[in-house]
Amino acid sequence: MNFDEIEKQILCEVADLSEPPDGAYNFRVNGKSVGRKSTDNINVIPKTDKSGLDIKIEAGKKNETVHIPVVISTSGLKEVVYNDFYIGDGAEVLIIAGCGIYNCGGFNSVHDGVHRFFVGKNARIKYVEKHYGFGPGKGGRILNPTTEVYLSEGSEAFLEMEQIKGVDSTIRTTKAVLQDNAKIFIKERLMTHGRQTAKSDYEIELAGKDSVADITSRSVAQDRSMQTFSSKIIGANKCRGHSECDAIIMDSAQVYAIPSLDARNVDAELIHEAAIGKIAGEQLLKLMSLGLGRSDAESRIINGFLK
Amino acid sequence: MLELRNVSFSVDEAGGRKDVLKNISICFEPGKITAITGLNGSGKSTLAQIVMGIKKPTKGRVFWQNKDITDKTVTDRAKLKIAFSFQQPVKIKGISVFELIDIAKGGGADPQDIANCLKAVGLSPDKYLAREIDAGLSGGELKRIELASVLARDAEVAIFDEPEAGIDLWSFNNLTTVFKKIRAEGKERTLIIISHQEKILKIADNIVILEAGKIKAYGKSDDVLRSVLRRLK
């Protein structure tokens, strides 16, 4: 696989890759797969009816990894990609996705990624997704990820979803359905600036007994950007659900949080916390009193908050 | 030498202007501990904040080593090796105890030095260095971390605004030992401690008593305490 400097930069930002990784992978560049590898335990199969992949992880296999980074460096490219992951019972896998758009032209570049995870009994997945955009063009850098997770009995999912910077518009849709004793932990980090817009929409259904969901979203809205965080946790059984949305608002930005809890069982314990505020003056003063200038102190607070 | 010359501070309040500090002049001797005490609302914390640059005096000037620093920012003063311990410790999500103390030390500090700062305030480095400075820590823990961050500055002037607030007796006793140790090092550091605690007044070399924004008494510790006792008799 040969990548130009821009593609290398994107791969480094979204997947921390400078060369093909160990384990299974698929590199998608400007709408085409430019490198793909299956392993003994992971089968990466292109879909025949639409753009995307079926990725099958064998039951009981542990310490497996899959990288599926996406790079767009052609202005005006629009694509919808469907990736389905079938994780066998008892398997453990790390999935690193991520998409970066470089736009140097006047047309919008759009990547809509639809990822569905069918997690077998007692299986465990960690899914890491980073989004990033840059480039001098006036065309938009638009990323709309949809993530659906179906967790069988006793399975666990850890989702880390991060929008680093430079994405002009995003609608992030995440849905999960959990069976008995299944657990999902979601960590979202989001930064918007300029006139960017970001919408995060979560719907988690705790269908199974003793299922657990924990959503933590931290975001920073700068300049005139707009963010909407909407979460709905449905407690349909004896279960525990917690969602926390913290946002730092700066300049002339707007942040809108819409928490929603839907308890359908007397033993459902559901909690939502939301806090939106500017960087506290005392926090700045504290770091300045330790020798940092105002803008350095602000950066440290924002970077720490989004860690 | 740190010096306040004719410092006043006023604020606008409902019903008119309130004088918080009135014409305060103090020389803080290097190598000495100066305790500032007085009733609540007497202006102690405001005075400390003026020294750090958090508040600017309405009148009067602040001098450090014969240079007027009245218009210097908090960062400028930190760079001049003036440090400040806040009465109410601040929580900062996403910054660990290790990072905070590393910032205090100027970055890239030896992890062992960072650990020693925590030990000095009675906290176990193993247990605390990786923790975030957020609501997961108790008020007492936050206060000790706040004190550790100031000790880490290795400052020439260190101001402690009610260090006793929120910490247990054992830790407070430990802290007074640290104050005495800093003075005994003989590095001519200026320690200013805002406190109501008798233990602090006892270790202080000089005492300033504020009342309603004015200096009620100021001088060598023994002299000030004797004059207070005389007045009480």
The residue whose two tokens read 């093909």 is A20
Contacts of A246 in chain B (CB under 8 A): 93
Residue B90 domain-assigned?
A: yes
Residue A206 domain-assigned?
A: yes
Shortest distance, CA B102 to any CA of chain A (angstroms): 10
pLDDT of B165 > 80? The answer is yes
Long-range contacts, stretch A50-53, CB < 8 angstroms, 24+ apart = A50/A80, A50/A82, A51/A79, A51/A80, A51/A81, A51/A82, A52/A81, A52/A82, A52/A83, A52/A84, A52/A114, A53/A26, A53/A83, A53/A84
Indicate the residue of A246, A304, A306 with minimum beta-carbon distance to B92.
A304
pLDDT in tens, A50-78: 999 999 999 999 999 999 999 999 999 99
Pick among B51, B82, B85, B92 to test the A interface (most A CBs inside 10 A):
B92
Task: Read off the CATH number of the domain in which B186 is found.
Answer: 3.40.50.300
Interatomic CA distance for residues B157 and B112, integer angstroms: 24
Q: Are strands B59-64 and B2-13 parallel, antiparallel or unpaired?
A: antiparallel
Residue A47's CB is within 10 A of a number of other CB atoms, namely: 13
Total number of domains constituting chain B: 1
* CB contact (8 A) between residue A288 and residue B74: yes
Phi, psi of B117 (to 5 degrees): -60, -40
Q: Are strands B16-28 and B2-13 parallel, antiparallel or unpaired?
A: antiparallel
Chain A residue with the nearest C-alpha to that of B155 = A290
Interatomic CA distance for residues B55 and B132, integer angstroms: 28
Q: Which residue has the higher pLDDT, A160 or B171?
A: A160
Residue A302 domain-assigned?
A: no
Q: What value does the mean pLDDT of chain B take?
A: 92
Interatomic CA distance for residues B1 and B189, integer angstroms: 10
The predicted structure's pLDDT at residue B164: 87
Please count the CA atoms within 13 angstroms of the CA of A305 that sit on its side-chain side. Answer: 26
DSSP helix/strand/coil, A180:
coil
> What's the rounded mean pLDDT across residues B135-139?
86
Residue B150 domain-assigned?
A: no
Residue length of chain A: 307
* CB contact (8 A) between residue A291 and residue B79: yes
The domain in which residue A33 lies consists of: 5-281
The predicted structure's pLDDT at residue B74: 97
Residue B131 domain-assigned?
A: no
* CB contact (8 A) between residue A304 and residue B83: no
pLDDT in tens, B44-79: 999 999 999 999 999 999 999 999 999 999 999 999
pTM over 0.95: no
Total number of domains constituting chain A: 1
